[in-house]
Chains A and B, each alone.
Chain A
């Protein structure tokens, strides 16, 4: 088939049949539908992380403030506030960076580069050593420590031995390790399932555009 025939066949296949009138277009716009691009999914994920993180932080700080009577309370409060604030600020920074991206109006290749960068930022943070081996285990340990401090009440920290037997300490350590062992693969799996595959596809598309450039240069 000659290319002109191909072109004609292609053009003919798009007749006006199935075209929408103004009312139908407006109806489609009125239906509140979330955009299905990976970037928008990431924006939504950041938002959820921020909302949940903020609510959880406030709840935990409130609980420490009201429920813990230890003499170290002020330090615990300061420490916990710093920890959660850092996480929330980091998330906010990332969210604001992604929010700025209006990829749909850019040229295709630069838009693809920006999209890949934004998704990578999200995926890489979630699969980073920092996130896997520091934040999650640290949060679990912090939770356990807060529980112990609550139980200690007004007692001094060195009286912890009266409160916890070796057996209990071992049990708590096992709980901490097991929680990490369960949650780390789950978050990794979710991450991979949701975005890694899509990211690879976008990179493949970017390579296709690069291939176009290379072919142009080599000809």
Chain B
């Protein structure tokens, strides 16, 4: 196979599905610099693993698997800055403008997801991106019944974190 054609195909696929990399980078890193690093890391890993992709699963499913694996296994040199999940996401609760209200809501959701552990983050990202229980189980390597149970728990956990963030309960 001509390596240039292969690379072009790969780039087209990435362009189409890059939202996955953006989502994973943002969910696993808070700082801009860390997000950019992780984005590039995922891209490199995807390219290096592309030859092993057998097209038996959807490209996006495979991409999520590589991206989440890279995010979970990423080596953080500056742990303190990366793990301080409560400081870097701005919240502007007092503004009553509708756009800002939505923006606040999004920030709150991001902040709440940042408080989940790595495994919970992986599962909820997939669930919110409309993956089925079977697909989530396939990506995570756990059983379908466990996915269902866990998703319910994460939903409740997220809601209570949000309540805590909104009202300081």
How many of chain B's residues have a CB under 8 angstroms from any CB in A? Answer: 68
Interface pair B118/A213, CB less than 8 Å apart: no
Q: Give residues 92-125 of B contacting A (CB, 8 Å).
A: 102, 105-106, 108-110, 112-113, 117-120, 122-123
Interface pair B109/A38, CB less than 8 Å apart: no
* Shortest Cβ distance from residue A201 to the other chain B in the assembled complex, whole angstroms: 8
Interface pair B22/A105, CB less than 8 Å apart: no
- Kindly state whether residue A75 has any CB partner on chain B within 8 Å: no
Interface pair B72/A108, CB less than 8 Å apart: yes
- Kindly state whether residue A159 has any CB partner on chain B within 8 Å: no
- Kindly state whether residue A215 has any CB partner on chain B within 8 Å: yes
Q: Given A6-B159, A209-B142, A212-B146, A104–B119 Cβ distance below 8 Å?
A: no
Contact pattern, A 12-49, Cβ under 8 Å of B = 1, otherwise 0: 11100011111001101101010111110100000000
* Shortest Cβ distance from residue A114 to the other chain B in the assembled complex, whole angstroms: 10
Interface pair B128/A7, CB less than 8 Å apart: yes
- Kindly state whether residue B74 has any CB partner on chain A within 8 Å: yes
* Separation of A41 and B73 alpha carbons in the complex (Å): 11
Interface pair A107/B141, CB less than 8 Å apart: yes
Q: Is the interface of B mostly helix, strand, loop or mixed?
A: helix
Chain B neighbourhood of A7, CB < 8 A: 128
How many of chain A's residues have a CB under 8 angstroms from any CB in B? Answer: 54
Interface pair B43/A28, CB less than 8 Å apart: yes
Interface pair B140/A108, CB less than 8 Å apart: yes
Interface pair A102/B49, CB less than 8 Å apart: yes
Q: Is the interface of A mostly helix, strand, loop or mixed?
A: helix
Interface pair B158/A3, CB less than 8 Å apart: yes
Interface pair A205/B118, CB less than 8 Å apart: yes
* Separation of A42 and B156 alpha carbons in the complex (Å): 39
- Kindly state whether residue A219 has any CB partner on chain B within 8 Å: yes
Interface pair A104/B128, CB less than 8 Å apart: no
Interface pair B45/A26, CB less than 8 Å apart: no
Q: Given A6-B158, A13-B106, A107-B138, A36–B37 Cβ distance below 8 Å?
A: yes
By a beta-carbon cutoff of 8 Å, the part of chain B in contact with chain A is 7, 11-12, 14-15, 18-19, 22-23, 26, 37-41, 43-49, 52-53, 62, 65-66, 68-70, 72-76, 79, 102, 105-106, 108-110, 112-113, 117-120, 122-123, 128-129, 138-143, 145-146, 149-150, 153, 155, 158-159, 162, 166
